[in-house]
A and B are shown apart, each in its own frame.
Chain A
Amino acid sequence: MAPPNHRRPGFSKRAQYSIFASYLLGILGAVLGLLLLLVSFIDPRGFSALRTIGAEAMAPASKTLSEFGSLTGNAGDQVSAYFNAASKNAEMQQELEQNRIEILEARALRQENDRLKRLLKLDEEIPDSIAMARLISSTASSARRIATLGVGSNNGLEPGQPVRSPEGLVGRILETGPSTARVLLVSDSKNVTPVQRASDSLPAFATGRGDGTVDIQPINIGTNPFKGGDLLITSGSGGLYSPGIPVAVVIRKTETGAIGRVLANPAKVSHAIVQPIFQAETVRQIEENPVDDLEEESGE
């Protein structure tokens, strides 16, 4: 499309001034945007109220759509289940037998575990869940990895609480509204999770890479003991996450550490469980400092 003629001001001083003024307003907008950006860097939680209002306003639509989405997602599976019902039945019966044996073994192990724990006088510190909800949307168009959870402060959610699924750690609560909460996913580049290798509790940090993987750096710099297939679980240091939640599996080594794939893929997580913050001491810290300052401290 050819630019309209009225855009060429000619010799009219008035037209020239009005163009100048419109540019000035445009530049003013850019400068204001830059200032807002600076403010949001200095105080990352400063505008959380605005985002919460946005999330709350969209929550009814997101919740309805996510119910609908999961229904359509299941429909295909349900139809295909009819076609191989017989073979599946046989398979499942076999599996059931196997599981029965394994359950018996697990029961024996648990009894032994209890006995050993009593010997060591360890307190049972298994946190119960605060709430269970669906992830209703995410920042799929942004480089940040934040998801929205379908429950909020009405259900007792607070910033800092870990969010997990049966597969592993999903992230932690960043901001809460009355009926929604924003979850900073493990793979966000601002999220640092203190982890340890499951086999020998080698401590490390897992920093998100923004694409479903984490960058794993061992605390003892200089050694690089990771190899493909290593399972990383939360170490419990920092006090946010209770120890033993699976986080990632090493997929390849790098020069200084390793790259791991996050186990709990938020796209496949149907329900997320919100747990209380692991240690009460950290709760006090959070009340004193905003949660974003904890990112650096969380691994100490």
Chain B
Amino acid sequence: MPRSRQSRIGRQPSQLRIKLIPPVTVVLGSMITALPIITDYPILPPMGLLVILAWRLIRPGYWAVWAGFPLGLVDDIFSGQPLGSAAFLWSVIFILLETLDRKAVRRDYWQDWLIASTAIAIVLICGMLIVDFQSNLLRFDLLMPQILLSVLLYPFVARLIGAIDNWRVAS
């Protein structure tokens, strides 16, 4: 990763742990579809997206702008979306977040949540349109439960990722 934070940490934890934990947790989040949850409509929050958003907002310096592409590609393998859907959408989200980071003067927790919620809504709605543009254009009500659940779940995921991050940088 181009901007590693190793110089800022006094003690020296394992480099492998520092470098690998964030992408590994994102991939684990993407693998949530392997759980035996069989539903008739989209309801399961996209955990891979929630985890990567939490990491991106907690540790803006860790992530390269292009990181959305490879991790999105892995998410596509497990999500059932057409391959390239998350790779494209996550890349766009990362570019938007990078631009936002350069513009914003200060940020607090509520703004982070708002940004994450917007990103979740954008990715889910665009993902649905990618699957079938014509018949899904007027059926966003179908996604409301999933978006709502994901937005409400985000703070918990952010807490969890924060705890993992503390462990990651602790020696």
Contact = CB atoms under 8 A, between A and B. Distances in A.
Nearest to A36: B84
Interface string B1-27: 011000000000000000000000000
A189 B131 CA distance: 9
A140 B78 contact: no
Contact of B65 (A8, A26, A145): A26
Interface residues of A, number: 65
B148 to A, nearest CB: 14
Nearest to B64: A22
B54 to A, nearest CB: 12
A32 B87 contact: yes
A229 interface: no
Interface in A54-70: 54, 58, 61-62, 65-66, 69
A220 to B, nearest CB: 22
Contact of B95 (A26, A142, A187, A267): A26
Contact of A140 (B31, B37, B112): B37
A218 B146 CA distance: 32
Interface stretch (A38-46, A95-103, A151-159): A38-46
A215 to B, nearest CB: 8
Nearest to B106: A2
A65 B98 contact: no
B92 interface: yes
Please report whether the interface of chain B is mostly helix, strand, loop or mixed according to DSSP: helix
Contacts of B66: 22, 25-26, 28-29
B18 to A, nearest CB: 17
A143 B79 CA distance: 10
B2 to A, nearest CB: 7
B116 to A, nearest CB: 13
B87 A33 contact: yes
Contacts of A139: 33, 79-81
Contacts of B47: 141
A7 B62 CA distance: 12
B91 A210 contact: no
A265 interface: yes
15 contacts: A2-B107, A3-B101, A22-B64, A26-B95, A29-B70, A32-B87, A33-B73, A33-B90, A37-B84, A54-B78, A140-B42, A142-B80, A210-B136, A212-B40, A266-B39
Given A25-B65, A141-B47, 4 more contacts: A33-B86, A33-B87, A37-B130, A142-B79
Interface of A: 1-4, 6-8, 18, 22-23, 25-30, 32-41, 44, 47, 50-51, 53-54, 58, 61-62, 65-66, 69, 135-147, 185, 187, 189-190, 207, 209-212, 262, 265-267, 269
